[in-house]
A and B are shown apart, each in its own frame.
Chain A
Amino acid sequence: MSTTTADLDADSRSAISKLWHNREARSVILQILTMALLIGFFAFIISNAVSNLAAVGKTFSYDFLGEPASYDINQTLIDYTSRDTHLRAGLVGLLNTGLVAICGVILATILGFILGIFRLSPNYLLNRISYAFVEFTRNVPVLLHILLIHGIVVHSLPHPKIAKDDFNIGDMFFLSNRGVYAPKPIMEDLFWFVIIAFFIGIAFTLWFRKYARKVQDATGKIYPVFWIGMAAIFGFPVIVYLVTGTPLTWDAPVFGRFNFQGGMVILPEFMALWLALSLYTAAFIAEIVRAGILSVSHGQWEAAAALGIRRGRILNLVIIPQALRVIVPPLTSQYLNLTKNSSLAIAIGYMDIVATLGGISLMQTGKEMETMLLVIAVYLSISLLISAFMNWYNQRIKLVER
């Protein structure tokens, strides 16, 4: 009797250990275990969430998005009043996030490239100034930059009463602690022609670039693509603007009793966030640009020069295309970081999506779970979109190896 059980034991043990030592079987077992753990974990937290929500008498639903938000937003790109819905408030916030991210990316790229090139300059002073700026900026938290610049704007710029005389640039721009006041463009109907002309200019330039390349490949003749492109993109709209009878007027801000009336205001919150994010990201971009340009070996310069190519054209045709290959991937992640860092807006009261949907809407409706999931989903899709675009671009400029 006892011997048979022992045999059975030994048999089953060896069967399990055989299974365990089989590579394929083990990998299946491990994966099933992982899956089971994962499902168990999610089941556990979801059941907890359900019972916890039930205990405090809440339900999981997105119905609140259709209810009136009943709070004001100080910067709106689309029409919004406090009677509009939470969904629209979230949309206003999302557009504000987009605005600061796009403005930030543009300024950060320009500043970053300038700083990176200064950092490579043979001029000792310029080089050191750029180095000091880059090191100081990137070793200080971005939140601190935002608060510092916001503090400087709010505390150091004067009240509008003083700004109307002392910080007045040609009666058009006023720098005050309530923001920068600037003339607001008012478009007449004919101005649409100018906008259309601008896009036609861009399309023409893209086509002309392709055409010029084809001509160059076939005959060796080089067209001044840059200047013709500039003329098409900027000159053509200006001509259209003049022909249609200057259909654009400016509404300049005028000082009323307590504050400026009319015009367009750039809020101190936006300025602080924009400048801080741009400066912080520019410091990182400067290092990326420097590394990218240094990565192109000196032999490339010499080889191009030996072929008798001019300096400007060497940069354009030989150096920059190779440097871009090194620069683009980390540049993408800096753009992503800038977009994600824009969520720090909430610290100074700039109404981005975290401050509207994840802030005030959350407080008013008590829907923590729904709002936070929505905010997370929005950021995830922005990130995935940017990285998908950049992957496509990267693929396009990648070195084609045979």
Chain B
Amino acid sequence: MSDTVQNYVPGEYPDQPPPIGQRGIMLWLKTNLFSSWINTLMTLFSIYLLYLIVPPLLNWTVFDAVINATSRAECREIDTGACWAFIANRINILTYGFYPDESQWRVNLSFVLLIAALVPVLFDNVPFRKFGLIYAVAYPFIAGWLLLGGLGLEPVGTDEFGGMMLNTIVGVTGITFSLPLGIALALGRQSHLPIVRTVSICFIEFIRGVPLITLLFVASTMLNYFLPPGTTFDLLLRVLIMVTLFASGYIAEVVRGGLQSIPNGQYEAANSMGLKYWQSMRLVILPQALKVSIPGIVNTFIGLFKDTTLVLIIGLLDVLGIGRSSLADTKWNGLSNEVYISIAIFFFIACFGMSRYSIYLEGKLEKGHKR
């Protein structure tokens, strides 16, 4: 009796835990899933939706999937799910296209060097960033030498480029060259010179008004007519030019948004310091405007990278083009879902990564403006 009843001095009564419904998992469930009858209904609906989608998907992709097989018939004999053996069989061509096997180390090396060039550009807290930036500027030339050959390396024609490598080349080149062009166009659109402004507006609106695919058709069918007779241009180079022009139109609009967000006082202040037009742009306006437009620029780049798949329509074999043409193989007939889903995962990783980076940047920039 004496050990069950305890008397406490007022104020020293030990804290009791909250009721079971007010803490931990129960509280979370209650507020997030069952807060009202409509919420409960939605939870049940979601669970039903997940039940419909997730188990069959997991079965197909993982539990019933086949990794080792030599043909579709063999896959079907083993199990009913996805036949990943096909992808394993084609992974080399999906990655490198028709690049000669013995030279594939060059592609790998340029990819590693690309990452090394990207790090100092993307993050400003890495050591020796200045040298890294100089190297990043030199990178396109190094990569061009590595991929195309010459100067001691076996030359490889651009018609042998393909697969994910081609997507990466088109994407990275487009991104690198469209940024300066886009900035120039944005400045042209904001210019006080009526002719320069009109030309910039016409170019930007034209580019943004037509689908990329028509521009690629122009590159593949029409562009030769516009060049001096007798000159021929590499198809990949023509595509690169078109993709760059296309992306620059979109970048220009993003940068224009940034320029318009800069208050007039900044322009006036730069003028009153006696800075010339280019000096005021370089030192005062652009650093601020570009900072504001970085998330938009990254979004344009994501769009550009996704659009690199369109080159398959004019006959370049990018990763999707190779995947699609490999479906015609009679041994592996009818495995389109496997091929397209693997390629979708590749693009998802690349683009989701970029969009996460853009969110990280947005957070960082916001901090810069908070006091």
Contacts and interface: CB of A to CB of B under 8 A. Distances in A.
Interface of A: 27, 30-31, 34-35, 38, 45, 48-49, 51-53, 55, 121-126, 129, 135-136, 139-144, 147-148, 151-152, 154-156, 340-341, 343-344, 346-347, 354, 358, 362, 368-369, 372, 375-376, 379-380, 383-384
Contacts of A156: 337
B221 interface: yes
Given A140-B348, A148-B337, A375-B217, 13 more contacts: A27-B192, A35-B195, A129-B49, A135-B355, A139-B355, A141-B306, A143-B309, A143-B312, A144-B340, A151-B340, A155-B336, A347-B312, A354-B213
16 contacts: A31-B195, A34-B196, A52-B226, A52-B227, A123-B42, A123-B43, A126-B46, A135-B355, A143-B309, A144-B340, A144-B343, A144-B344, A148-B341, A148-B344, A340-B211, A383-B210
B313 interface: yes
Given A123-B39, A148-B341, A376 B210 contact: yes
A147 B325 CA distance: 12
Contact of B352 (A139, A148, A343): A139
B348 A368 contact: no
Contacts of B196: 30-31, 34
B320 interface: yes
Interface string B210-226: 11111001100110111
A380 B210 contact: yes
Contacts of A123: 32-33, 39, 42-43, 46
Contacts of B206: 380
B106 interface: no
Nearest to B218: A372
Contacts of A151: 336-337, 340
Interface string B138-166: 00000000000000000000000000000
A153 B250 CA distance: 34
Contacts of B312: 143, 347
Contacts of A51: 229
A30 B193 contact: yes
Contact of B209 (A52, A125, A379): A379
Nearest to B351: A139
A141 B46 contact: no
Contacts of B221: 362, 368, 372
Contacts of B343: 144
B58 interface: no
A369 B347 CA distance: 34
Contact of B337 (A55, A135, A152): A152
Given A126-B46, A143-B312, A383-B210, A38 B199 contact: yes
Q: Lowest 9 CB-CB distances: which A-B pairs, in order?
A: A151-B336, A383-B209, A125-B46, A139-B351, A124-B32, A340-B211, A141-B306, A148-B340, A45-B226
Given A124-B32, A144-B344, A369-B225, A139 B302 contact: yes
Contact of A125 (B47, B212, B222, B309): B47
A141 B304 CA distance: 10
B180 interface: no
B208 interface: yes
B228 interface: yes
Contacts of A121: 42
B294 interface: no
Contact of B324 (A55, A124, A147, A362): A147
A44 to B, nearest CB: 8
Given A148-B336, A368-B222, A383-B208, A136 B348 contact: yes
Contacts of B320: 141, 143-144, 147
Contacts of A27: 192-193
Interface of B: 31-33, 35, 39, 42-43, 45-47, 49-50, 192-196, 199, 205-206, 208-214, 217-218, 221-222, 224-229, 302, 306-307, 309-310, 312-313, 320, 324, 334, 336-337, 340-341, 343-344, 347-348, 351-352, 355
Contacts of A34: 193, 195-196, 199
Contacts of B212: 340
B302 A344 contact: no
Given A139-B348, A139-B355, A48 B225 contact: yes
Contacts of A140: 306, 344, 347-348, 351
B313 A344 contact: yes
Pick the most buried of B194, B211, B212, B310: most chain A CB atoms within 10 A of its CB.
B211
Contacts of A31: 193-196
Contact of A346 (B31, B39, B213): B213
Contacts of A48: 225-229
A375 B348 CA distance: 32
Contacts of A55: 229
Contacts of B211: 340-341, 343-344, 354, 379
B127 to A, nearest CB: 32
Nearest to A37: B199
B187 to A, nearest CB: 13
Contacts of A155: 334, 336-337
Contacts of B226: 45, 48-49, 52
Contacts of A152: 336-337
B336 A343 contact: no
Contacts of B49: 129
Given A343-B211, A376-B214, A142 B306 contact: yes
Contacts of B195: 31, 34-35
Contacts of A368: 221-222, 225
A144 B309 contact: yes
Contacts of B35: 122
A140 B340 CA distance: 10
Contacts of A135: 352, 355
Pick the most buried of B194, B224, B310, B355: most chain A CB atoms within 10 A of its CB.
B310
A93 to B, nearest CB: 13
A350 B161 CA distance: 29
Contacts of B355: 135, 139
Nearest to A340: B211
Given A125-B47, A139-B302, A372 B348 contact: no
B51 to A, nearest CB: 12
A220 to B, nearest CB: 31
B10 to A, nearest CB: 41
Given A31-B193, A123-B46, A343 B309 contact: no
A35 B198 CA distance: 11
B236 to A, nearest CB: 19
Contacts of A354: 211, 213-214, 217
